[in-house]
Amino acid sequence: MAPRTRLFARLMRLVEKGIEEVEDLPAHRAKRVRLQRSAVGQRIFGRVHAHATQQEITIGSGSRALVHRPTGVAGPLPCVVNFHGGGWVQGNPEQSGWLASGVAVGARAVVISPSYRLAPDAPFPAGVEDCWDALTWVVDHADELGVDPSRISLMGDSAGGNLAAVMTLLARDAGGPEIRSQVLVYPGVEMYDRWPSEDRNAEAPVLTSRNMRAYVRLYLDAQHGTEDFRASPIRAASHAGLPKAFILTAEHDPLLDNGSRYRDALVEAGVPVRYVEYEGAIHGFLSLPGVVPVARRALDDIVDFLRATA
């Protein structure tokens, strides 16, 4: 682990409560937004790429989304629909700005990052429904967005990786929209089973085992215990016929085995998968380029994958 990553981890332990200890969730979310917008936050979370534009739009039934485009590139372009992380409880499209704009420039694509309703105010499956509405809205409005509706890829990190995986399953089962590829960044694909990486990294920076379990309870609420694949995509009856996948995991992450076991499930079903475990990385590292150096290599890897598949 890089020295700056270790320092960041120590500071996080001093100043940040685990989600299981948070009593005022709206205030907790607002605090995170203030940090994102601060000068220090921009050094930690990164800035929008200098050669990308950022536009806020309203999609579907009124959800907010950020659109990142490479400057000076004519369309229609491939489109990446990107779902943000945050344990289905917090987070926003802005936290993906560094990643989304970097992908837009590197892959010469339009990256659309929608918001979705958050638990516990809107528990499962509200977030799933919102993401599906966003995906279908993007395809239906491809012309006005300047994107090619036959070249749609999905991307998401952590809870967003869960949602991206679920969207590919729903799209396959519905007979469309056609998804060219999926990028799953340290995805959570299983709600209940405890795998070795969770024990090995139970007190890891950013995400602990206790955090994981609290997020699941908040997200599923009264449906805790459901085996619905829309909650746990690894529990789908079949993973055959899904689009090519790139799964990224972090060495110091309790969710590491979620990614590696989903890789195994896809490969067993005949789905082409690229898989990389990033040494020295922590959960959330692609939202933390200022403190996790390997984030820049991971961004390059995503761009290479999308260039070849999108």
User: What are the catalytic residues?
Assistant: 158, 253, 283
Beta strands 179-185 and 244-252 are parallel
- Which residue is it, tokens 């220090």? 40
CA 46, CA 289: separation in Å to the nearest integer?
6
Cβ 246 vs Cβ 181: under 8 Å:
yes
Q: b or e along 270-280 (b: 16 or more beta carbons within 10 Å of the residue's beta carbon)?
A: ebebbbbebee
Q: b or e along 140-151 (b: 16 or more beta carbons within 10 Å of the residue's beta carbon)?
A: eebeebebbbeb
Whether cis (ω within 30° of 0) applies to the bond prior to 272 is no
Q: Dihedral of CA 228/230/231/235: which sign?
A: positive
Q: Count CB neighbours of 62 within 10 A.
A: 7
Q: Which residues pair with 277 in a beta bridge?
A: 249
The two structure tokens encoding residue 297: 């290599």
CA 184, CA 158: separation in Å to the nearest integer?
8
